[in-house]
């Protein structure tokens, strides 16, 4: 299963800005709340996180040292 | 939920205490848990308990009037939280939020005072802990005052992998910005710069440190 951005549905105000910036069409509105469609094409551009005014989407990075 | 003597023994506050002394401390210590995202301490409120992180990671931060966050510290297992209101009796100068599910041990201010009286070694340990805290905050002031953003971001990345065995919270660009005292956009730009210098590689949700030496040079720290 591909790692996907994290959505806090309690914070989502349904504005849909994230849908407009998502390059891989991974986001949809379901009953006025944002929902994620799992896709391998999500490139972790983090633009959904950047435009979200209510901090409902986060794209956390794992930080590792190359083996 | 049992408070573990072995854990108490491992934390700097109780360094050098005998098993019997630790047993007496255990009577005052209580276990509590917080969910990921839960705010454990809120800036401006009063609080009566000192906390030790047993497992998980918390962030300590201040929030400006317009909602900008500055993270002062990421607290890992063995470290303590909330000394300032416990020792000066004022309100919390910072907020604390769980970045992962967290288990905490707590001790009330009045019980800590009793422990100080009964075991003076604890007071000596606390002075050392607080001196270390001042040293770390001075380093933060130095970074914010003198270092360019890309150096601060490089240092943050190095700090996350410094402890090979401890928990590593995942960080969003917003959280990195709050640690570096800058805007989220500047973090994005800095990560690109670090990638161009081949210090790191961005692999979807992973930041891979590919050249630690270059990253250390950029951060202005020695290996």
Indicate the average pLDDT of chain B.
Answer: 92
Every domain of chain B and the residues it spans: 5-142, 147-219
ipTM comes to: 0.86
The answer to whether the beta carbons of residues B3 and B23 sit under 8 Å apart is no
Residue A1 confidence class, pLDDT cut points 50, 70, 90: low
Interface of A to B at Cβ within 8 Å reads 3, 8, 42-44, 46, 49-50, 55, 58-66
The answer to whether the beta carbons of residues B50 and B81 sit under 8 Å apart is yes
Range B5-142 classified under CATH 2.60.120.10 = yes
Span B57-75, pLDDT tens digits:
899 999 988 888 888 888 9
Chosen from B157, B165, B170 to mutate, greatest number of chain A CBs within 10 A: B170
What's the rounded mean pLDDT across residues B92-107? Answer: 94
Q: Which residues of A touch B213 (CB under 8 A)?
A: none
- DSSP 8-state secondary structure symbol assigned to residue B34: E
Q: Is the pLDDT of residue B164 over 80?
A: no
Span A54-67, pLDDT tens digits:
889 999 999 999 87
Angle among Cα B28, B34, B39 to the nearest 5 degrees reads 105
With H, G, I as helix, E, B as strand and everything else as coil, classify residue B204. coil
CATH topology for B147-219 is Arc Repressor Mutant, subunit A (1.10.10)
Residue B44 structure tokens = 């401006």
Burial B19-54 (b: 16+ CB within 10 A, else e): eebbeebbebbeeeebeeeeebbeeeeebebbbbbb
Instruction: For residues B207 and B223, give the distance between their C-alpha atoms in angstroms, rounded to a whole number.
Output: 20
What's the rounded mean pLDDT across residues B149-164? Answer: 92
The answer to whether the beta carbons of residues A21 and A48 sit under 8 Å apart is yes
- Per the model's pLDDT, the better-predicted residue between A1 and B161 turns out to be B161
Q: Determine whether the interchain pair A62/B212 forms a contact, defined as Cβ–Cβ distance below 8 Å.
A: no
Q: Which residues pair with A6 in a beta bridge?
A: A58
Q: Is the pLDDT of residue B1 over 70?
A: no
Rounded to 5 degrees, φ, ψ at B31 are: -95, 140
Span B175-203, pLDDT tens digits:
999 999 988 888 998 999 999 999 999 99
Residue in B173, B209, B212 closest to A46 by CB: B173
Q: Percentage helix, strand, coil, to 5, in chain A? A: 15, 25, 60
Domain B147-219 in the same topology as domain B5-142? no
What's the rounded mean pLDDT across residues A25-29? Answer: 88
Q: Is the pLDDT of residue B149 over 70?
A: yes
Residue B158 confidence class, pLDDT cut points 50, 70, 90: very high
- DSSP 8-state secondary structure symbol assigned to residue A5: -
Q: Is the pLDDT of residue B78 over 70?
A: yes
pLDDT for residue B19: 92
Q: Determine whether the interchain pair B201/A3 forms a contact, defined as Cβ–Cβ distance below 8 Å.
A: no
With H, G, I as helix, E, B as strand and everything else as coil, classify residue A48. helix
- Residue of B190, B162, B71, B59 whose CA lies nearest to A63: B162
CATH architecture observed for domain A6-58 = 2-Layer Sandwich (3.30)
Is the pTM above the cut of 0.90? no
């Amino acid at each position: 299963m591909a790692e996907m951005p994290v959505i806090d549905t309690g914070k989502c105000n349904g504005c849909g800005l994230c849908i407009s910036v998502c390059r891989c069409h991974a986001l949809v509105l379901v009953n006025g709340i944002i929902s994620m469609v799992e896709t391998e094409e999500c490139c972790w551009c983090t633009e959904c996180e950047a435009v979200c005014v209510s901090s409902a989407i986060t794209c956390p990075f794992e930080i590792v040292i190359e083996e | 939920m049992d408070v573990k003597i072995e854990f108490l023994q491992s934390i700097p506050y109780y360094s050098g205490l005998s098993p019997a002394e630790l047993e007496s401390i255990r009577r005052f210590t209580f276990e509590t848990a917080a969910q990921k995202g839960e705010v454990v301490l809120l800036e401006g409120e009063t609080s009566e308990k000192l906390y030790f992180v047993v497992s998980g990671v918390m962030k300590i931060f201040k929030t400006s009037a317009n909602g900008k966050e500055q993270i002062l510290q990421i607290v890992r297992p063995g470290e303590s939280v909330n000394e300032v209101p416990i020792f000066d009796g004022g309100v919390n100068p910072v907020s604390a939020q769980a970045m992962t599910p967290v288990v905490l041990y707590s001790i009330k201010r009045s019980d800590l005072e009793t422990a100080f009286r009964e075991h003076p070694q604890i007071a000596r340990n606390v002075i050392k802990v607080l001196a270390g805290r001042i040293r770390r905050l001075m380093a933060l002031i130095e970074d914010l005052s003198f270092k360019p953003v890309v150096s601060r971001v490089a240092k943050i990345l190095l700090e996350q992998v410094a402890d090979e065995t401890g928990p590593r919270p995942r960080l969003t660009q917003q959280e990195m910005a709050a640690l570096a005292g800058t805007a989220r956009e500047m973090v994005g730009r800095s990560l690109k710069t670090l990638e161009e210098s081949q210090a790191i590689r961005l692999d979807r949700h992973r930041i891979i440190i590919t050249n630690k030496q270059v990253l250390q040079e950029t951060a202005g720290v020695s290996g």
